[in-house]
Amino acid sequence: MKCLVVILVCAVLAEGLVRIPLVKHKSMREALREKGIELPYQDPGLKYQPDEFAGSATMYINNYADTTYYGAISIGTPPQSFQVLFDTGSANLWVDSVYCNTQACNTHKKFNPQQSSTYSASGQSFYLPYGAGSLSGVFGYDTIDVGGIVITNQEIGLSTNEPGRTFVVAKFDGILGLSYPSISAGGETPVMDNIISQNLLNANMFAFYLSRGGQQGSELSFGGVDNSKYQGEITWTPVTSETYWQIGVDGFQINGRETGWCSQGCQSIVDTGTSMLTAPGQLLGYIMQAIGAQQSQYGMYMVDCNQIYNLPTLSFVISGVSFPLPPSAYIIQHYQYGYQFCSVGITPTYLPSRDGQPLWIFGDVFLREYYSIYDRTYNRVGFAIAA
């Protein structure tokens, strides 16, 4: 009977699903590297600084140089279509607009509010610092369509200035944040919160499936769980801070041996807007030593591609369940100028979590291995082995 109840719940959750295909592109870093430009490393943890909280119209976009999965939304009446990064590590929606005429804006699709009968201006401006430059814009309101979910009177950031070369090669036109409203720049209402208040879903949750090995088939779904995207059981763990999708980590293991690094507790932010697995800076040296990686002149940690399957399995213990990452998950294979080289998809952050515990960031390296579910009703995150 218990099994029947579980099956029925999954069937109900899957029935009202809204699916948005995500397409994998080259990251900004990869595109610039092909042009002979090496982007400097930025601490991913800077994205989670307190300055971003409501009341400040500032959003951090430091580490979007490595993101690769984007999907389509439309804005306005009649609809104008855009490719955006769906980001669980930020709260605001912004896109390029006709108010911006820099090279970075001109290489992307730009929203024209004058061509939308449902647009209204707000008069508030925002500022997004990143790397060596910044992106500026203004807020407005319009109708948006996310996979057939039509949200009215949604706050939107429209870029007015995008200096620098970084965004020239970006394959996305904007970012749609999916974190909690408490971190929304300018106090704007996030898309998910408008979806909830307008009662547009069967269940107030969304989920990510990120395909492995460069394959297509990645998907963001709203309104429930897609049981074709995972195998086994879902492990649920509570959100520890209703800011980002932050959870507790009970342990970290190397080849099944507990390190004790999280014996006093660790925190992790589950972030689809971060491509790598990010480790506490004070632990990175130990991890790289266990892997046998050597640091390159550009700060990347490299391994011998022929030795990948001899490297250790790294595991996180969450709510009493072990989540292993085999070397095939955390080693990234690159091909350039006819050569193959292999880097470790783990980067450091030197910032602790807000409660002072060591901070990890579960980016795409982790999320390709595990289907992830974000439940706003019960403020919890679910993980299951990706299909």
* Catalytic (active-site) positions: 87, 271
H or E segment to which residue 248 belongs: strand 245-249
Distance CA 107, CA 168 (A): 6
Q: What is d(CA 194, CA 191) in angstroms, rounded to the nearest whole number?
A: 5
Contact 82, 97 (CB under 8 A): no
Amino acid letter, residue 153: N
Owner of token pair 């699903």: 17
CA–CA distance, 192 with 251 (Å, rounded to integer): 31
Q: How far apart are CA 153 and CA 156, in angstroms?
A: 9
Shortest CA distance to 365 belongs to which of 324, 337, 309, 335? 324
Using alpha carbons only, what angle is made at residue 13 by residues 8 and 19, rounded to the nearest 5 degrees? 140
- Enclosing H/E stretch for 326: none
Contact of 351 with 43, CB cutoff 8 Å: yes
User: Hunting for tokens 């290489």 — which residue is that?
Assistant: 107
**By the 8 A CB rule, do 242 and 179 touch?**
no
- Phi, psi dihedral angles at 342 (to 5 degrees): -125, 125
Closest by CA position to 131, among listed 57, 68, 52, 41: 41
Query: Do residues 104 and 94 touch, judged by C-beta distance below 8 A?
Result: no
Contact 23, 172 (CB under 8 A): no
Q: Are 73 and 82 in contact (CB under 8 A)?
A: yes
- Contact of 103 with 110, CB cutoff 8 Å: no
